Chains A and B, each alone.
Chain A
Amino acid sequence: MKQLLSQAFNLIRQNPFYSTISMIGTAVTIAFVMVVVMIYDFRTMDMAPESDRSNMMYTGPGMTYRKQDQTNRNSGMGRKAFEALFSELPGVKEVTWYRGVAKTPCNLSASNEIFNYFVRPVADNWFKFFDYEFIAGRPFTQEEYDARRWVSVITERMALQLFGTTDVVGKEYQSNFFPTKVVGVVKDVNAIFQTAYADAFVPFSLENEDYYATWTGGLGGIRMGLLKLLPDTRPADIRTEVQHRQDRLNSSTAEYAFEMNELYTHTEYTFFRGKDISAPLVYSMLLMVLLIVPAINISGMTNARMQERVTEIAVRKAYGASRISIMARLFSENLLTVFLGGILGYLLSCVLVWLGRVWLFGSGEVELSGISLDGGLLLHPALFVLVFGVCVVFNLLSVLIPVWMVTHRNIATTIKGE
């Protein structure tokens, strides 16, 4: 083992050019692969506060229309439609609702300095649905929610910027010029969590929900729904059941009908929403392209390199080494270079993801400058393991064919000279 290691180092020192190119090639490839994996990972893995992404389903916008002539179409789901379709669904653990973030002017009553924050109206069980970390206070209570009190839960960053301290439970500020009381402070939420993200959370009951229902037969509104499935439930079952309920709802003699056209799983919601493209498929194909092209590359170079060692290998064979052992040896020599390249590549990928964070993760909806990737998200332990795995696979791919070709050459012809 030690001999193998020292031989491998020697090889690198003796062939600086080949090793450098090989390492750069591997590093660049692994960097790109890791960036792609990280993007997919950050957005789909179960991570607090969205600790249950794999069991979540999102409702689409929904549409109301006049039954008789299909006109007067409006998008949006109201309370009546929501409760008819989603309350007490079999196989669903929890249901909650929210509205998109709205940029809201906030200030302290005594001060004229106005800050714009993203405020999200949420249902009463929002803080049970997601995993926020409270550093002070508590979520709003059922009583506060039902009584439509102006209370809010704000993030650490907002508390510090507005008040200068996080010890602000019970204090008041103006949100859209309405006096609002802070009941809780949570740790900052990264903007990557597109649904759980906001600077402040206020009760959904404050929204004038029923106003939007007036021109849609009571069915329209502004709710966006979330479902948390029990582990055994399949999304297809939920879709079927919701469809049944919808048909029952629309079979009444009411003037307007409601259509919940889409129910997305988390992956469907995050990538290519609404388009008929499978995200896992696209990402797998992308990964294949990113791996295969450099693999052919390095194969070619390794092949050229192997020409020089043909004699050495022939001699080994003559002295009784089996093909397998020679192949194994050649693999493991190459492994060191690939391994070093892999580490380099992983570091490079972290740098790339950090530099390009706004581009890779931002979308038009959330504050782009709020995306910060601290060590927690980047140095995820699972990713380390993944890097190792990719290194090994890469090594195998690149070296397989040239090595196979070289070890299957006839000894005699080789030593005689080709």
Chain B
Amino acid sequence: MKQIWNERRSNAFLWMELFVVFVILWYIVDVVYVTLSIYNLPMGFDIENTYVLRFERMTSKAAAYQPGRTMKEDVADLHEIVNRLAHRSDVEAVSLSQNCIPYNDGANSFSFYLDTVPVRSLKRWITPEYFNVFRYRNIDGSGSESLAEALTPSGMVLSVNIADVYQDAPWHGKELLGRRVPVWRNEPEAEHLSIAALTEPVRYDHFTAPDDYGSRYAAVYLTDEEMESLGETVYIEVCLRVREGQNDGFIDRLIVEADRQYQVGNLYLLDITPLSDIRAAYETDSVNELNTQFCIIFFLLLNIFLGIIGTFWFRTQHRRAEIALRMALGSTRWGICGRLMGEGVLLLLISAIPAWVVAWNLGYAELVEVTRMPFTAGRFAITVLGTFILIAGMIVIGIGYPARRAMSIKPAEALHEE
């Protein structure tokens, strides 16, 4: 300790650097911590082995075009195609939906009333098989089939957390089951739907917090009439799940048969995309942001490393005489090494304490990210500890090489030089 004070002039730079870097690094570690904690929360659904297909109406210039077909017939043709898909030996489930595939770049909204409280959420405008395609889970543990049975033109399925943010609502969670509520308008003549089933919460993507708007939904039956009113079949999403173990080469197998099997009336297969591609496209921006943050962390740690290794190199060089003396007087080589390491870590500790104060104040003043996760003592403790360990690691590695040189000093030679 005394030695640190004696060398305070040259330690001042190191101390300042450690302090500044600690605060900046902590800020970024905090952001990364929030993002990663949220990333790993359960999604509530599964997109493995799933695909979304779109079927478009041929133009009048195409050879196979049949003039005079109505939208009603187009929708019937679409059902025929879906039927054929569902009967494939390698397909497990097929569903239709409008603007609500997982990770979709856009969403419909929905609102209904619990007593007098309006509840707004995402709208999953789907046919019942959707739950089987994406393996939503009923809160009673029965999986997805019970959800498919529950969804009817008069019964909707909600996520169990749909009313959680509405403190005034008379019922929350499980209490919602079985109730009949007005939809869109709170009037006796308005359309009413009953809450037929509840599912585990479903997050929009890996970066959405569980209490965000994107983590609540209401699933409503997509009727044929509603599909016909869309005007074009290309707006209807056909989602399917391939059976376990049969996913390899599925797209190729399907496209080979597309001309014969899946071209009905005026409809043809426009494209087929695995949901994993859609997820990648949607999450690209958030992933890039995370990567950028990792880069900044790497940059800061690299600078610490360079600074420490540089400063301690010169230190060991200057103190050759002193080190040699210590060794001559009985200190072991590892003792020398330990002393150096200890000096570095102690310096870190001294600069860390004011850094903790600054960090705490930043968090308290909510200058950190608080929209997705509140700033709790636990979060503070973990992030501060994490930052400390990262920097301490750099210090240990940075002192390592100079310390090895120090350990190999031959006392007689060094003292002789002096």
| A positions within 8 Å CB-CB of B | 17-18, 21-22, 24-25, 28-29, 32, 103, 105, 116, 176-179, 289-290, 292-294, 296-301, 303-305, 307-308, 359-360, 362-364, 402, 405
Contacts and interface: CB of A to CB of B under 8 A. Distances in A.
B62 A28 contact: no
Contacts of B61: 177-179
Given A364-B105, A364-B282, A359 B17 contact: no
Given A21-B306, A293-B21, A293-B300, A301 B311 contact: yes
A155 B311 CA distance: 56
Chain B interface, DSSP helix/strand/loop, else mixed: helix
Contacts of B296: 289
A293 B310 contact: no
Interface residues of B, number: 38
Nearest to B281: A364
B10 interface: yes
B309 A292 contact: no
Contacts of B314: 18, 301, 304-305, 307-308
B267 to A, nearest CB: 13
Contacts of B13: 296, 299-300, 303, 402
Contacts of A22: 310
Interface string B272-297: 00000000011011001001000110
A300 B10 contact: yes
A379 to B, nearest CB: 23
A32 B299 contact: yes
Given A177-B62, A293-B303, A364-B284, A300 B311 contact: yes
B143 interface: no
Contacts of A290: 299
Q: Which 4 A-B pairs have the closest CB atoms?
A: A300-B13, A297-B307, A301-B310, A304-B314
Contact of A304 (B17, B270, B299, B311): B311
Contacts of A177: 58-59, 61-62
8 contacts: A17-B313, A22-B310, A28-B306, A290-B299, A293-B20, A296-B13, A303-B10, A363-B285
A18 B314 CA distance: 9
Contacts of B382: none
B105 to A, nearest CB: 7
A352 B318 CA distance: 38
Contacts of B21: 293
B190 interface: no
Given A28-B299, A176-B59, A359-B288, 5 more contacts: A22-B310, A29-B303, A293-B20, A297-B303, A364-B281
B352 interface: no
Contacts of A293: 17, 20-21, 24, 300, 303
A300 B299 contact: no
A364 B310 CA distance: 43
A42 to B, nearest CB: 15
B10 A28 contact: no
A24 to B, nearest CB: 6
Given A178-B61, A179-B61, A293-B300, A25 B306 contact: yes
B368 to A, nearest CB: 15
B311 to A, nearest CB: 5
A178 B10 contact: no
A18 B105 contact: no
Interface string B208-232: 0000000000000000000000000
Given A105-B270, A362-B284, A294 B303 contact: yes
Contacts of B302: 28
A72 to B, nearest CB: 11
B16 A296 contact: yes
Given A177-B61, A364-B105, A301 B307 contact: yes
Nearest to A103: B271
B315 interface: yes
Contact of A300 (B14, B270, B281, B300): B14
Contacts of B270: 105
Interface string B296-329: 1001101110110111011100100000000000
A24 B306 CA distance: 8
Given A289-B24, A296-B17, A364-B281, A304 B10 contact: yes
Residue with the greatest number of chain B CB neighbours at <10 A, chosen from A22, A296, A299, A303: A296
Contacts of B271: 103, 105, 116
A304 B20 contact: no
Q: In this complex, which of B13, B310, B318 has the most chain A Cβ atoms within 10 angstroms of its Cβ?
A: B310
Interface in B1-30: 9-10, 13-14, 16-17, 20-21, 24
Contacts of A289: 24, 296
Interface in B50-98: 58-59, 61-62
Contacts of B310: 18, 21-22, 25, 297, 300-301, 304
B20 A296 contact: yes
Contacts of A176: 59
A2 B314 CA distance: 29
Contacts of A25: 303, 306-307, 310
A304 B13 CA distance: 10
By CB atoms of chain B within 10 A, which of A17, A290, A294, A297 has the most? A297
Contacts of A32: 295, 299
B367 to A, nearest CB: 13
A415 B27 CA distance: 46
B59 A300 contact: no
Contacts of A178: 59, 61
B24 A300 contact: no
A363 B313 contact: no
Contacts of A305: 314
Contacts of B9: 303, 405
Contacts of B306: 21, 24-25, 28, 294, 297
Nearest to A305: B314
Nearest to B315: A304
A307 B11 CA distance: 13
A395 to B, nearest CB: 16
Interface string B244-286: 0000000000000000000000000011000000000110110
